[in-house]
Structure 1
Amino acid sequence: MTIDTKSPADPTDPTAQEEQAAGPSRSERLSALAQQHGALVTLIVAVAAASVGFDTFMTADNMENMAVSSAFLAVVALGMTFVIVTGGIDLSVGSLFALGGVLAAWGSRYGTAVALLLPLAVCGLIGLVNGMLIARARLAPFIVTLAAMLAARGLLLSVTDEGSRTYLVDKDSFFATLGQGKVLGIGAPVWITVALFVAGAVVLRRTRFGQYVYAVGGNEDAAALMGAPVARTKIAVYTVSGLCAGLAGALNAAWLVSGVTILGSGMELEAISAVVIGGTLLTGGFGFISGSLVGVLLLKVIQNVINQIGSLDSAYQQVVSGAFLAVVVVAQTWLGRRRRVL
């Protein structure tokens, strides 16, 4: 009896060469498309169903309210996408969002520049510290960002006298215009968010830094062997996350013309949910900026539909969002395994 020692995957095997030349199979392509665009298809179906079921869903006012309210979460999710693609997590963004709003409202009395730069500086610095502790001290992202979440919330309470003081923004200031102004009938925060997402997509997909982000998330040791600056990349993504959270908080303060201290609770979980729903893997190495935006819009559509029903308590929003996230994670895991098997 003879034993064939040639593996089908042997590069000298003509059959294997033909399979490699043919590229990914149809099943592999379908799995990749489902993983990348599944959230978009679901969003289209949800919008179509809501449009048929509720007369007020597609009205201009409802669309504008959803777009503007989505903008702030989307900016936070943008920074979170960079973090999760590297295989990390940032639990501090909710507190940084609230802190950024309060600092922006406080600084607005000294002009628009201070109102924007102060939250960016403070929240960016906290993100930088997170990145340094994670990258240089090799501490767990979960623990570091959890500590930052508590520290940022404590700083917020200190600035607002235990939450008893609310700083207001002058409605006639240019800073307020950034939140309440409109361009071509669309709220200014929406345009700012679109510009940030375009820039983020270019950075992640078309720059060397973006390649490093994917490499670190895919295999940190291999990335280091290839010469990728692993530590600097991690520090950068957590700094970006802090900056995005601070900016989102500042824009929200401009929209509300006040620094509301109770905002941001649970926002980190919403941002993570949106990023994962959009197709980014929690294990890192795979994700899309556009997918995160779709994930945010899908969550907001679900919340809006529940509000349109009226008879359901707002707590159902969290139940539905959690159930939907669980389904998406299971689907992503199954698709990822299927692609590896194929």
Structure 2
Amino acid sequence: MNPTSSLTAPGTGVKGSGPGGKADADRPASGVTAAERLLSLVQRQGVLAVLLLVVVIASFAYPTFATLDNSRGVLVQASFLSIVALGMTLVIITGGIDLSVGSVFALGGVLAAWASQWGLLPALLVPLLVCGAIGTLNGLLIARAGMAPFIVTLASLLGARGLLLAFTDEGATTYLVPKGSAFAELGQGTVGGFGYPILVALALFGLGGLILQRTSFGQTLFAVGGSADAATLMGLPVARAKVTVYVLSGLLAGFAGALNAARLSSGVTIIGTGMELDAIAAVVIGGTLLVGGAGSVSGTLWGVLLLAVIQNLINQIGSLNSSYQSVVSGGFLILVVVAQRYVSRSRRTL
């Protein structure tokens, strides 16, 4: 058996054909037809076109939408979800899922607020250690014990939320971040009018893009998501890659929670509920396939911004409440999944 004949090409989700097959005969010298390149571009960057279209229409419809202050507010609100969604992107590319990120986000915020009384370093290290440990446990149970990601991370969702409630006396205790501290500045400070959370999120996405597209680890993630069995036959560290992405997902969710606590100056216990669904929606809307093997961090970023813009538009309208965001987000999600199936089916026939 030739392992390369069944592998999915990293970052594209395009199945390879055996040497000398009909698909090879019909392809140009580059190995990829113009139609395939177009379909791949639609899958990866279609959400950006939708985002730009919505922004242009909203700017004409609501004059306050395009103001600098409103744009800053949208970006700050999107920064926390984007960090969580970055970790989710890596997990989904490998064919997994992480339902625990919402609870881990809330837990990270409470732990950071509690530890902030001892300074900036403890406020960051404590949530990273605890949330990273949760991600490690998820990864080991999934990659080493062979358990289903849905079940493992669902249990972690409940466990992290339970730990949060126990730590805060069922939510009765709220830990405050000292005013004027370096940790508070991390969440509330600005550079050129843009908050630190925005800059941190952009830096993390830049790093994530480099890792995913320019390193052997990133290519391993695509191979694992395309076919774990084929990746194993190629000698790739499949189990280690799966453990790593869940660790990163836990770390990023905890870090986002810590940043949010710094911005709010407290560890809020009721946040994070349903955040895992928002993160999954942003990732899928951004073009990452739920079955794994294809995706990009840039698409996830556009997906997060699209959801944030929709929420802001609902606020601009005024007569609609925030629950309509879920309706619109669900509609976008269905449309994207249908489009992905159409694109995948079209690429298989080329």
Instruction: Tell me the TM-score normalized by structure 1.
Output: 0.95
Q: Which residue of 2 aligns with 1:247?
A: 255
Count residues with an aligned counterpart.
334
Question: Which residue among 264, 285, 289 is the counterpart of 2:293?
Answer: 285
Q: Which residue of 2 aligns with 1:123?
A: 131
8 Å contact from structure 1 (residues 179, 254) kept in 2: yes
Residue 331 of structure 1 pairs with residue 317 of structure 2 = no
Q: Which residue of 2 aligns with 1:85?
A: 93
Question: Which residue among 298, 309, 312 is the counterpart of 1:304?
Answer: 312
Q: Structure 1's 110 and 278: CA in aligned 2 closer, same or farther, altered over 3 A?
A: same
Q: Distance in 2 between matches of 1:142 and 1:14?
A: 39
The amino acid that maps onto 2:167 is V
Q: Which residue of 1 aligns with 2:11?
A: none
- Please report how far the alpha carbon of residue 60 of structure 1 lies from its aligned counterpart in structure 2 after TM superposition: 1.5
Q: Distance in 2 between matches of 1:136 and 1:31?
A: 36
Q: Which residue of 1 aligns with 2:57?
A: 49
**Mean Cα displacement is larger for which, 13-22 or 299-308?**
13-22
| C-alpha RMSD of matched pairs (Å) | 1.5
- Please report how far the alpha carbon of residue 123 of structure 1 lies from its aligned counterpart in structure 2 after TM superposition: 0.3
How do 1:11-30 residues align onto structure 2 when only pairs under 5 Å count?
17=25, 19-21=27-29, 23-30=31-38
Q: Structure 1's 136 and 54: CA in aligned 2 closer, same or farther, altered over 3 A?
A: same
8 Å contact from structure 2 (residues 101, 275) kept in 1: yes
8 Å contact from structure 1 (residues 97, 249) kept in 2: yes
Question: Which residue among 237, 242, 247 is the counterpart of 1:234?
Answer: 242
How do 1:46-125 residues align onto structure 2 when only pairs under 5 Å count?
46-125=54-133
1:285-312 CA deviation, whole Å, 9 max, x = no partner? 0000111011000000011111111111
Query: What percentage of aligned pairs have identical amino acids?
Result: 61
Q: Which residue of 1 aligns with 2:324?
A: 316
Q: Which residue of 2 aligns with 1:274?
A: 282
8 Å contact from structure 1 (residues 101, 260) kept in 2: yes
1:192-246 CA deviation, whole Å, 9 max, x = no partner? 1111111111111111111111110000000000011111100000000000000
- Please report how far the alpha carbon of residue 18 of structure 1 lies from its aligned counterpart in structure 2 after TM superposition: 6.0
8 Å contact from structure 1 (residues 104, 116) kept in 2: yes
Residue 31 of structure 1 pairs with residue 39 of structure 2 = yes
The amino acid that maps onto 1:226 is M
Q: Structure 1's 12 and 288: CA in aligned 2 closer, same or farther, altered over 3 A?
A: closer
The amino acid that maps onto 2:69 is D
**Mean Cα displacement is larger for which, 148-157 or 305-314?**
305-314
Q: Which residue of 1 aligns with 2:232?
A: 224
8 Å contact from structure 1 (residues 101, 251) kept in 2: yes
Q: Structure 1's 30 and 164: CA in aligned 2 closer, same or farther, altered over 3 A?
A: same
Question: Which residue among 155, 162, 166 is the counterpart of 2:163?
Answer: 155
- Please report how far the alpha carbon of residue 91 of structure 1 lies from its aligned counterpart in structure 2 after TM superposition: 0.1
Unmatched 5+ residue regions in structure 2?
Answer: 1-16
Unmatched 5+ residue regions in structure 1?
Answer: 1-8
1:239-286 CA deviation, whole Å, 9 max, x = no partner? 000000000000000000000000000000000000001110000000
Instruction: Please give the secondary structure, in 1, of the residue aligned with 2:173.
Output: coil
Q: Distance in 2 between matches of 1:15 and 1:102?
A: 55
- Please report how far the alpha carbon of residue 19 of structure 1 lies from its aligned counterpart in structure 2 after TM superposition: 3.2
- Please report how far the alpha carbon of residue 20 of structure 1 lies from its aligned counterpart in structure 2 after TM superposition: 4.2
